[in-house]
Amino acid sequence: MAPVLPALLCLGLSVGLRTQVQAGTLPKPVIWAEPGSVVPWGSPVTIWCRGTLGAQEFHLDKEGSLILWVRQNSLEPRDKAKFSIQHMREDHAGSYQCYYGTRTGWSEHTDPLQLVVTGLYGKPRLSALPSPVVMSGGNVTLQCGSRRGFNRFLLTKEGEDESSRALDGQRMLDGQTQALFPVGPVTPGHRWTFRCYGFYRHNPWVWSAPRDPLELLVSGEESRPDPIHLCRQDNVLGSLLPGEPLPGAGPGEGGPRGKRSLQPSACLSPGLSGKPSLLTPQGPVVTSGQNLTLQCRSDVGYTRFALSKEGGQDLPQRPAQRPQGGLSQADFPLGPVGTIHRGQYRCYSGHGLSFEWSAPSETLELLVAGPGGLRLRHGPHREAEPPGSWGCALREALTSAPCKYSDSGELLLVNSLTAWLQYP
């Protein structure tokens, strides 16, 4: 049975690795942790040490521990050993090294393994400035901060090209600390998903709980022409811009879309720069407490949609539905709306597993009236518009509903693009 580290390891003064061994010519061993070296508090973890065939025993050192080593006989095929921690705690976190011995001598120590415990502090916040929606090739700043006064923050990027960066925290006037991580240029070739942690410089192996993942949405260019994807039996063969002839097309056969050179089984569809449309069945002006659903729709066969709100950090995504032939759409229910839902929304569309998104839809501005409605004033010192004014006509044109007035004769529910709004 593998020895359990909680019974053998304890924290002491930072005395370093003091195990005295005579290093010989044996190959340097390798150390790693499963399922990983960043472990949530209370979870199990196994430290593995692998040397060469014929190893008789392995020793594990933890920097700063009063117990200088742990012995474990090697496992078949006698080239490795494991050291198990059943419940990860803060006193298990630290820097580990291992070495092994054979009949001819001892190996040197491995490179250090940094074993980290997470979850002892609450999550920091993570946001993208100015927005989590980034144009392809653009840059963004990720802000990681907390009220706990962390003096170090770590940003991790998930996915195939995972990486991490640590920065010192800067104290703000309100007592919070934060770090700003520049990211970019972002490209649509892979996913841009991030988490952040906070910790203290004097104890770099004890981290906060991770922030929920923040995913950047990489949007296509609005100004570029729509590329044409060539496909046969649902397999993409290539793409070209409008006006370019198809490969192999003879004179006069290319045309804007080169249809004459396509086989009957081929198909054409616009590329990712095609904008979807963002609609609301209830109209752009809704009353507080009213249930509202936003619809992102396209006449292109997109498979997923995302919704963004100006100044917001959430990017909800929905799979596409096909209510009618050739159309694709996704519904984003906002539930009973309040004044926090007021603002400008855009939506984006994407194909399959691609990390690239379309250009954004046109902006939809959502107005939410409070219990007493919204009052129209054209400036802080002007009187409200009287019945029959242009404001009333504009409101009726936008919402197909008659104008409403307060007891004092002020017009309720108006277009915010031209009006100065004040809650009663």
Q: Is the pLDDT of residue 272 over 90?
A: no
Q: Is the pLDDT of residue 268 over 50?
A: no
Q: Which among 373, 375, 361, 371 has a CA at the least distance from the CA of 309?
A: 361
Interatomic CA distance for residues 228 and 216, integer angstroms: 26
Q: What is the mean pLDDT of residues 224-235?
A: 39
Q: Which tens digits make up the pLDDT trace of 332-374? A: 988 888 888 888 888 888 877 666 788 888 888 888 776 544 4
Question: Residue 416: what pLDDT?
Answer: 36
Q: Which tens digits make up the pLDDT trace of 52-101? A: 888 888 999 999 886 656 677 777 778 889 899 999 999 999 999 999 99
For the chain, state the CA radius of gyration.
31
Question: Residue 208: what pLDDT?
Answer: 97
The CATH T-level fold of domain 277-369 is Immunoglobulin-like (2.60.40)
Q: Is the pLDDT of residue 11 over 70?
A: no
Q: Residue 247 has which token pair?
A: 């490969």
SS3 395: helix
Q: Which tens digits make up the pLDDT trace of 23-44? A: 457 889 999 999 999 999 999 9
CB crowding 214-243: b at 16 or more within 10 Å, else e: bbbbbbbeeeeebbbbbeeeeeeeeebeee
Q: Which whole-number Å values give the CA distances from 372 to 28, 386, 411, 416, in the listed order? A: 75, 18, 11, 17
Average pLDDT, the chain: 73
Q: Is the pLDDT of residue 141 over 70?
A: yes
Report pTM. 0.58
Of 243-247, 255-259, 294-298, least confident by mean pLDDT is 255-259
* Confidence label for 325 from pLDDT (cuts 50, 70 and 90): low
Count other Cβ atoms within 10 Å, centred on residue 183: 18
Q: Are 359 and 377 in contact (CB under 8 A)?
A: no
Name the maximum alpha-carbon separation found in the chain: 101
Q: Do domains 125-219 and 277-369 have the same CATH topology?
A: yes
Domain boundaries, the chain: 5-118, 125-219, 228-270, 277-369, 375-422
Q: What is the mean pLDDT of residues 223-236?
A: 39
More confident residue, 223 or 279: 279
Note the Cα 181 to chain centre separation in Å. Answer: 14
Q: Is the pLDDT of residue 255 over 90?
A: no
Interatomic CA distance for residues 351 and 323, integer angstroms: 18
As beta bridge partners, residue 36 has: none
Angle CA 99–103–54, to nearest 5: 70
Q: 3.40.50.2000, 3.40.50.300, 2.60.40.10, 3.30.750.200: which CATH number matches 5-118? A: 2.60.40.10
The tally of CA atoms less than 13 A away on the side-chain side of residue 97 is 16
In this structure, whether the domain defined by 125-219 belongs to CATH 2.60.40.10 is answered with yes
Q: What is the helix, strand, coil percentage profile of the chain, to 5?
A: 5, 45, 50
Q: What phi and psi, each to the nearest 5 degrees, are found at residue 225?
A: -65, 155
Question: Residue 384: what pLDDT?
Answer: 41
Q: Which whole-number Å values give the CA distances from 232 to 180, 262, 320, 356, 389, in the listed order? A: 46, 9, 22, 22, 58
Interatomic CA distance for residues 275 and 361, integer angstroms: 5
